[in-house]
Structure 1
Amino acid sequence: MAETLALALVVGLTACSSSDPTGSEGAATPTAAHPDAACALQQLTAGDGIHFGVNLDWGSQSVGEYADLLGAPPADVVSFSPIPWTAQEREWVTQAADQAAQVGAAHLLTLEPQAGLAAVTDDVIADVVSLLQEETDAGVPVIVRFAHEMNGSWYAWGQQPEEYVATFRRVAAAIHQQVPGAALMWAPNYGGGYPFDGGAYAAPPGSAAAGVLDTDGDGAVTGFDDPYAPYYPGDDYVDWVGMSLYHWGSAHPWGENEAPEAGKFVAQLTGAYSGLGGDDTAVPDFYADYGQARDKPVAIPETAALIVDRGDPVGQDAIRQAWWQQILAPEVHQRFPLLRLVNWFEWVKVEQEVGDTVHWAVLDDPDTREAFRADLPEWIEFGSDGCR
């Protein structure tokens, strides 16, 4: 079962830009965290609620406009950025942080080494550190999601476990040493459908990478191998664990508007899903293995339900609502206390694997927005400027 393929980059922002950041060699000893940034990071794991944030379509909407539609500031806002940066890409990251700061949100910065892991040189890491220092010095909390969905076969950093772990550790060590107001998130894709055969970056049979990924030792990388463990950088390098978890429909090929089965979200989070999409019970329990066992806060940095416009707004809204109600169910709040952050993918975009435009967003339509806001429980947490 194929999962999320290409995701969009930040292509434009509407906030006023700040001056170009300058490079820095970094400090030789740990730097003190800016009190506002450190406080805001702690708020994301404080209390007993789940924080709600957004993957925003930056080209068509500002964070402030989104907050007005939601009726509350998001707890965090996600941006996608390739590295190494051009001057313009670096400026877009700064603008995203500025917009997050305006509503009291954290900045979940997704770094995408599109030229491959070898392009993440020491100079590139130093540039990342320099910009993060500027963000956190301004009081903006940052969670860096480095090279997400690395277990997939659709990204240039995918299915290269040894290189990925080594690079993640280098990035994490530099950020932990020099930017204590920032945190690192490790975030694979949900393991159903692993190893996602047919992708451009699938580990070649017989390669060293395939040998590492063959966790059951049967000579091949299959759905019975662990889709998470070979890519885990280690507890000392990871502050948050997260997983992309979408409702793409009932079964591959995707593109049909189909309601999620009851309990699907929880079953996939815990490695217990077996249903219309197949038997995924070989997939490990992500929450137990990477949240509970390691005492890490858990995030769903990307989620939404697939809708292709078929001229049935009532039926389409019922599918969306069925998915968000599973995520916002009392059982989720009570059973998963380490689940601290959920981000809705608020985009309308063409998806390659569907061959059509998918309407992931829920706030752009007034009726859908009203239903979504009405279903937000009291224990959902939003952004706050209480630390600033």
Structure 2
Amino acid sequence: MLLNLILLGATASALAPLERTDGKILLGAWYDRNLSDTPSAVNARIGYKPLSFFQTDVDFSGTLKPWTSPQTVIPQFQQQLKDTNTDAIAMLTVYPFQGLGDKISDAQLKDMGDRLNGLVNSGRQVFLRFAPEMNGNWFSYGQDPAGFISTWQRCIKYWRTALGSNVNKVAFVWSPNSGNGYPYPGGESWPNPNSTAKFDLDRIGLMDTNRNGKLDPLDNPYIPFYPGDEYVDWVGISIYHYGIEWPWVNNSIPEPQKFERYITGYPDNGDYFGYFPFYTPFSTPAGATNNITNTKVSSGNKPFIVSETAATYHFAWVDSTTPQATLLQDHTRVEIKEAWWNSFLTQDFISRYPRFQAVCTFEFIKTEELTWRDFSAFGPPPNPSGVNFEAEDQDVANAFARDAKGMGFVAWAKLGATNGTATVTASATGALIDNNKQQSGSGKTEITHIVGALLLAAWIRIMIA
């Protein structure tokens, strides 16, 4: 009995920051702050229960994109979360657009550490996703394994020290892009295969995991970029449904296993789904080994977050002279998007992937490649396209709210001072109204659990002494 209690205490102490033990998952949204969307507006559009976290992004340089500087964004983000009247977690994506290594100053690290403490001291827990999609080549810092790893380790060590007693309220999320399409030839930071520059040759040497002298889809898209278990709290990934076939202009319903195959890898059709698993090496005891150095790079068992996801709906050409009729509209927004979330927001999926603990939708309308794309799932976000389809987007949010009533595995945010989850509606000002004010008694249960846990811990210490 004593041994079991000791093991229980050891397991609890080994939990990652923000890790859950109740079998439920966190559900969040990355909202379009730049075009005036807000967390409160997202919750009101869903009209069911408040989301458990919200994501926004900053340009770490503070100057390349001043409208997304930490000094501008984080105070606004903090206020917008407060306006939800919930305990929603803050998810902060930090882009080092200025580059890696010595291009990040100690002053920048200190400023971010101060701002993280400010968020925590305001009552928020925080996911911090630093330099995401580093295995891609569409960012200036991409496809530089050595530079990324050394920069990640330096930043995380600094911020953990700066956080002090707040360190367990901030989870650092390592989050590459899904491996389908890897190594994504071309792009801003693609290592030129014909280059003789040492920088390119060094990068290719680290990324060429199958040792055939070139970069190709049979190179592992994740392991060369992993900074080590000591420096990672959660692992995450970006997963999207753009369509069934390139060039991604047709509106098609996602295959039922598509989402799952992105995280497991599917060598039978690896060019489409990716050849290598993500969940198994990083979120199960199987762990991950670097076949170049034959060293263990991860012992696995990390909590897993889908850092951003969406099923796209193509509604217009970027080039307005392209004939609109060639966009195939065989399926509605609801059909496409509902099929997507129902492929992973199920009890069966969560039971099979128990380290899957959070997912964040991408709530944007924007241009990519050839088309205007509607990524939203939670109602009509700000729309820069000039095409009006608010009713269709609200239909999607309504469908989600209906489906969510059967999602007992979702951990919703707590509204106001209550300790239970609450049904929410929009007031005249857009703020959320608590429709379940009589749930305050559950606070007594929570206090009882806390007191019991403290007494158990004290008893274990006495028995060991």
- Report the RMSD for the aligned CA atoms in angstroms: 2.2
Specify which of 151, 155, 179 is matched with residue 139 of structure 2: 155
Deviates more, 1:164-173 or 1:195-204: 195-204
Q: Offset at 1:43?
A: 5.6
Query: Helix, strand or coil for the counterpart of 2:342?
Result: helix
Q: Is the CA contact 1:52–1:74 (under 8 Å) kept in the aligned structure 2?
A: yes
Deviates more, 1:145-154 or 1:321-330: 321-330
Q: 1:258 to 1:278 in 2, by over 3 A?
A: farther
Q: Is the CA contact 1:44–1:341 (under 8 Å) kept in the aligned structure 2?
A: no
Query: Helix, strand or coil for the counterpart of 1:343?
Result: strand
Q: Is the CA contact 2:29–2:363 (under 8 Å) kept in the aligned structure 1?
A: yes
2:129 is equivalent to residue 145 of structure 1 = yes
Specify which of 36, 54, 57 is matched with residue 80 of structure 1: 57
Residue of structure 1 in register with 2:307 after alignment: 301
Q: Offset at 1:98?
A: 2.6
Q: Is the CA contact 2:259–2:344 (under 8 Å) kept in the aligned structure 1?
A: yes
Residue of structure 2 in register with 1:29 after alignment: none
Residue of structure 2 in register with 1:238 after alignment: 232
Matches within 5 A, 1:99-114: 99-101=80-82, 102=84, 103-114=86-97
Query: Helix, strand or coil for the counterpart of 1:350?
Result: strand
> What is the CA–CA distance in structure 2 between the aligned matches of 1:384 and 1:111, rounded to whole Å?
26
Counterpart residue identity of residue 315, structure 1 = T
Counterpart residue identity of residue 230, structure 1 = P
Could you give the per-residue CA deviations for residues 1-41 of structure 1, whole angstroms, max 9, x where no partner exists?
xxxxxxxxxxxxxxxxxxxxxxxxxxxxxxxxxxxxxxxx9
Specify which of 267, 284, 287 is matched with residue 279 of structure 2: 287
> What is the CA–CA distance in structure 1 between the aligned matches of 2:56 and 2:118, rounded to whole Å?
17
Counterpart residue identity of residue 412, structure 2 = F
Counterpart residue identity of residue 80, structure 2 = Q
Could you give the per-residue CA deviations for residues 188-231 of structure 1, whole angstroms, max 9, x where no partner exists?
00011100001111123252111111111110111111100010
Counterpart residue identity of residue 178, structure 2 = Y
The answer for unaligned runs of 5 or more in structure 2 is: 1-15, 194-199, 286-299, 316-326, 381-392, 420-442, 444-465
Specify which of 401, 408, 411 is matched with residue 373 of structure 1: 401
TM-score, reference length from structure 1: 0.83
Q: 1:273 to 1:361 in 2, by over 3 A?
A: farther
TM-score, reference length from structure 2: 0.70
Query: Helix, strand or coil for the counterpart of 1:81?
Result: strand
Q: Offset at 1:187?
A: 0.1
Matches within 5 A, 1:355-370: 355-362=370-377, 363-364=379-380, 365-370=393-398
Aligned residue-pair number: 344
> What is the CA–CA distance in structure 1 between the aligned matches of 2:75 and 2:352, rounded to whole Å?
37
Specify which of 78, 82, 97 is matched with residue 97 of structure 1: 78
Structure of greater Rg: 2
Could you give the per-residue CA deviations for residues 242-292 of structure 1, whole angstroms, max 9, x where no partner exists?
0000111112212211111121111111112645x8454522x21111111
Deviates more, 1:52-61 or 1:146-155: 52-61
Q: 1:313 to 1:99 in 2, by over 3 A?
A: farther
Residue of structure 2 in register with 1:54 after alignment: 29
Q: More helix by proportion, 1 or 2?
A: 2
Query: Helix, strand or coil for the counterpart of 1:191?
Result: coil
Query: Helix, strand or coil for the counterpart of 1:155?
Result: coil
> What is the CA–CA distance in structure 2 between the aligned matches of 1:95 and 1:44, rounded to whole Å?
26
The answer for unaligned runs of 5 or more in structure 1 is: 1-40
Specify which of 167, 173, 177 is matched with residue 185 of structure 1: 173
Counterpart residue identity of residue 347, structure 1 = F
Q: Offset at 1:60?
A: 2.9
Residue of structure 2 in register with 1:322 after alignment: 339
Q: Is the CA contact 1:165–1:232 (under 8 Å) kept in the aligned structure 2?
A: yes
Q: Is the CA contact 2:145–2:225 (under 8 Å) kept in the aligned structure 1?
A: yes
Counterpart residue identity of residue 82, structure 1 = D
Greater RCO, 1 or 2 (C-alpha within 8 Å, sep 6+) = 1
Specify which of 414, 419, 426 is matched with residue 384 of structure 1: 414
Q: Offset at 1:85?
A: 2.1
Counterpart residue identity of residue 300, structure 1 = V
